[in-house]
Structure 1
Amino acid sequence: MNPHARHSISLTYLLAGLWRSRQLIGRMIRSEVIGRYKGSALGLGWSLVHPLLMLSVYTFVFSIAFKARWGTHEGESKVMFAIILFIGMIVHGLFSEILNRSATLIPDNVNYVKKVVFPLEILPVVVTGAAVFHTLISLLVWLLFYLVCVGVPDWHALFLPLIIFPLVLLSLGVSWVLAAVGASFRDVGQTTSIITAILLFLSPVFYPIENIPQALHPLIMANPLTFVIEQARAVLIWAQMPDLAGLLVYWTLALLVFWAGFVCFQKSRTGFADVL
């Protein structure tokens, strides 16, 4: 294989390649997850401890120190505030983990770049898979907390995969773009950390979107996390049907970003070896 040869940008090629590399992707995701906690006493236990610690800190700061309330009803408990808050944190955590890891993917994997037979396009898939694993752990923590404090979630919770999966596709598309750009511009990694921190407060994680002035709603809704957070809370907490029309639009946009990101990566990968 010629490292400077053109690479296919078709979705058929991508899906076939991912299927062929499924075992390699699985092993690399496992190594990515385990490697993060290698040498620590708790090991994978940190994937449970971390979301619990962050939830406790944010709940204390906002519901006790700032005396914030969601405003769903009078006498709202701190437990309910924590349950609502955690959903926003989980969605933001998924997106931010993928973005922050993607910008340095190519420089961090120079050995793979120089192996011309290695399918470089799977590197963002591995990062996304590891982020999805941590998201599932966080959702398990949320579910256990909800079962103990509230009860069994309503059947509308079954719609959650339909809501989360397009965000995964969109995040993967952005990951391919960041990996491609980050190969040449090392400042991208610093930029993404700033952007994800800003998105934490520009997303309805700590507050209901109804609290935002109507004039600013278009800005908040332009945030790719807002719709997912609102719909996840609708099905998990408020026992409501998801916005199917909105989901159709979001799925369409996510698929476009997914494919555009792959095209960007494939067009750029011929120069990776030259800039490392």
Structure 2
Amino acid sequence: MQNFPILPREMAASLWRNRDLIAALVKREVIGRYRGSVMGLAWSFFNPLLMLVIYTFVFSVVFKARWGVGVEETKADFAIILFVGMIVHGLFAECVNRAPALILSNVNYVKKVIFPLEILPWVAFGSALFHTAISVGVLLLAQLILSHQIPWTVVLFPLVLLPMVFIAMGFAWFLASFGVFMRDVGQITGVFTTVLLFASPVFYPLSILPAKYQGWLQLNPLAFIIEEGRKVLVFGQLPDIGQWGVMMVVGMLTAWAGFAWFQKTRKGFADVL
């Protein structure tokens, strides 16, 4: 039986070696999602815009929530700050929720020895990243219209997201493998990402929590990414490089652990399917 390499360098080598195939599959998936709809890809723009309006109304009008960024804080300010958290959580949640079904929905690839199954999580991530980029575009457009300015630090947002990319990929490889052997995993991930939505500073800033809870919440990797994302996208502040470095190490270790598990267990996929 074939043994698949699990070294960290193979994780990067596989991505580079199959980059054209990944790009083609991502393009096919994005286009296929909206094929047959009247508005087509325009839905990828209107969906985040609609969610932004709904969440803003519910939290700033119905619940009269405030972020506490100043006495002159407006509903638009609250909406923009809230939207950053939604974007980050949405990217992670889409990758995790789709992961358990990646192999099950591509059984024909399992039979092909030459097909690199390890790229399927990258394809799912690429599709999610496309929609995240559209959402960020909506966010920046809203800032430009409402605040008449966009901080230069927005160029650092991809850097802030990088640790979460590795963490999401690690989870995706783990769950893609578990999903083959345990079909209930898909139900668990939906609950997990919903809990994570409220256990992350999406609807509130970390600073409003009692100190004894802040430490626990900071163990959630999304907490750092969301808070630092707001710094660079909204407040025009530089990210905390020290904590970012720690998160990068955590992210790379998570990604490699997930990749190694996937490579070790993929030999049994064909037998189960």
**Structure-2-length-normalised TM-score:** 0.97
CA distance in 1, matches of 2:12, 2:65: 46
| 1:175-203, Cα deviation, whole Å (9 max, x unpaired) | 00000111110111010011111111111
Tell me which of 233, 237, 240 is aligned to 1:240. Answer: 237
Once the two structures are TM-superposed, the CA of residue 133 in structure 1 deviates from its matched residue by 0.9
CA distance in 2, matches of 1:217, 1:257: 23
CA distance in 2, matches of 1:12, 1:257: 14
| 1:58-107, Cα deviation, whole Å (9 max, x unpaired) | 11110000011111112311000011000000000000000001011111
Once the two structures are TM-superposed, the CA of residue 35 in structure 1 deviates from its matched residue by 1.5
Once the two structures are TM-superposed, the CA of residue 219 in structure 1 deviates from its matched residue by 2.0
Tell me which of 25, 34, 47 is aligned to 2:31. Answer: 34
Tell me which of 204, 207, 211 is aligned to 2:204. Answer: 207
Tell me which of 241, 263, 271 is aligned to 2:260. Answer: 263
Aligned match of 1:82: 79
Tell me which of 45, 48, 61 is aligned to 2:45. Answer: 48
Equivalences for 1:145-160 in 2 at 5 Å?
A: 145-160=142-157
Q: Name the aligned partner's letter for residue 258 of structure 1.
A: A
Q: Name the aligned partner's letter for residue 33 of structure 1.
A: V
Q: Which moved more, 1:207-216 or 1:222-231?
A: 207-216
Aligned match of 2:121: 124
Aligned match of 1:108: 105
Once the two structures are TM-superposed, the CA of residue 16 in structure 1 deviates from its matched residue by 2.4
Equivalences for 1:119-198 in 2 at 5 Å?
A: 119-198=116-195
CA distance in 1, matches of 2:251, 2:187: 25
Q: CA RMSD in A?
A: 1.0
CA distance in 2, matches of 1:190, 1:112: 24
Q: Name the aligned partner's letter for residue 16 of structure 1.
A: A
Among all aligned residue pairs of Structure 1 and Structure 2, give the percentage whose two residues are the same amino acid.
51
Once the two structures are TM-superposed, the CA of residue 161 in structure 1 deviates from its matched residue by 1.5
Secondary structure of 2:134's partner?
A: helix
Secondary structure of 1:230's partner?
A: helix
CA distance in 2, matches of 1:27, 1:267: 27
Is 1:69 aligned to 2:63, yes or no?
no
Secondary structure of 1:15's partner?
A: helix
CA distance in 2, matches of 1:246, 1:73: 26
Aligned match of 2:95: 98
**Structure-1-length-normalised TM-score:** 0.96
Once the two structures are TM-superposed, the CA of residue 13 in structure 1 deviates from its matched residue by 2.5
Unmatched runs of 5 consecutive residues or more in structure 2: none
Q: Does structure 1 retain, via aligned residues, the 8 Å contact 2:11–2:256? A: no
Q: Name the aligned partner's letter for residue 86 of structure 1.
A: F
Unmatched runs of 5 consecutive residues or more in structure 1: none
Q: Does structure 1 retain, via aligned residues, the 8 Å contact 2:87–2:136? A: yes
Q: Name the aligned partner's letter for residue 188 of structure 2.
A: T
How many residues are matched? 273
Q: Which moved more, 1:50-59 or 1:17-26?
A: 17-26
